Amino acid sequence: MARKLFGTDGVRGRANAGAMTPDMALRLGQAAGRQFINHGHHGHSPRAVIGKDTRRSGYMLETALIAGFTSVGMDVFLLGPVPTPAVGMLTRSMRADIGVMISASHNPHHDNGIKFFGPDGFKLSDATEEEIERRLDREPELAEPDRIGRATRIEDGRGRYMEFAKTTFPRGQRLDGLKIVVDCANGAAYRTAPEVLWELGAEVVPVGVEPNGFNINGDCGSTRPQRAAARVLETGADLGISLDGDADRVMIIDVRGLIADGDQVMALIAGRWAAEDRLAKGTLVATVMSNLGLERHLASKGLSLLRTAVGDRYVVEAMREGGYNLGGEQSGHIVMTDYVTTGDGLIAALQFLAAMVETGQPASALAQVFTPVPQILENVRFRQGARPLEEESVQASIREAEARLDGRGRLVIRKSGTEPLVRIMGECDDPELLRAVVGDIRAEVARFV
């Protein structure tokens, strides 16, 4: 069965429409709750943990999920606004049966999403998501009146995660003397990230820490790191950290305002871990979107790059299957399973800061580890009901582009798992040829806008 509701990262859509209505959230809570009640082994009442980011619609979806979970007999523990990785960590720490993060990650405020975590703190497999979808077609198995669950607010969830995050920074080291700009995208980490950095001794310049329910990711955060870069230059900061709305992504900015993406951060961590004999099997796991320059850099160090489909959940699945401990995406998801079960922007930033403290080198010497191969990423929105990648004219354009590249570069063309977009990525050592082939494909796809 192909999943119809779940995308590459849970269920996502426009708030109060389609899959993101209170009715659907209630039904998802019932279906997912019953799935894990049936498969769990309990010495206590079944438990669900719910976190969220700062979107206004999160309150609506949270209330509906509570109704869904409690109606099938699950107790619910509410964390409030916390980063996505905190939900994975606390699901496992609190011995919960399921965790939920209400967030559309880096999307604008008018979108929202529901991400599920299993009792091990990892995101659900495709097979489990398919089973939850099947349950949506059945009548819910409601609890008897004396077995209805209850909801409890957990006041120290954010604090628990903060204390854990600090344990990933080298014992005995501090951030004294460092001025750090941290852009929290008016999202889930608006209190967490600045407080952790301050407690470790840094002078913190906060950006994007005034959420109002509608400004999450608004001209800020990891998809708009230019705002944090400008603050780095204005304040003379040593480093900029730019997170997304649910803080599972990070971009790093050096003193010159130059931006290092996930590939550069992964290259730095992989090299350090390999030198310390910590990089499992000498392998970094990344997606097909990661730059060819990263692959060449790792090979020059005797390290391997294992590529997966796009989506941090597929990176994590490959890591778990192969026994690897470092992976991520160019977009800034950095997964370190020695510490966390999903991408964690704050903990990845702490790894970068650890490198600065331990080597005494500035961010500018650490943030550009390899020279990237010229890369273009185009997002082309298509009209409702269109299927441009199934059109022969688009396929012919792709075949012609591949023939022109003739082994000198590569193309990755796919439909977004969260939006009506075709994502066109091309890489080639010849920038002029790259622009031409990507432009031709973009023009053909754009016929279906």
DSSP 423: E
Tokens describing residue 362: 């500035």
The conformation of residue 446, written as its DSSP 8-state character, comes to G
Beta strands in 118-253 (DSSP E): 151-153, 179-183, 203-207, 239-243, 250-253
Q: Is 180 helix (H, G, I), strand (E, B) or coil?
A: strand
Question: Is 196 buried (19+), middle (13-18) or exposed (0-12) by CB count in 10 A?
Answer: buried
- Candidate list 57, 105, 290, 331, residue with the active-site label: 105
CA separation for the pair 348, 13 (Å, rounded): 28
DSSP annotation of 49: E
Q: For the chain, what is the total number of helices (H) and then of strands (E)?
A: 14, 18
Do the Cβ atoms of 297 and 305 come closer than 8 Å?
no
Complete DSSP assignment for 333-371: -EEETTT-SS--HHHHHHHHHHHHHHH---HHHHS--S-
Q: How far apart are CA 425 and CA 411, in angstroms?
A: 6
Task: Mark whether 57 is an active-site residue.
Answer: no
DSSP class per residue in 257-290:
--EE-HHHHHHHHHHHHHHTT-SGGGEEEEETTS
Report the DSSP pairing between strands 179-183 and 203-207: parallel
Q: Which residues are catalytic?
A: 105
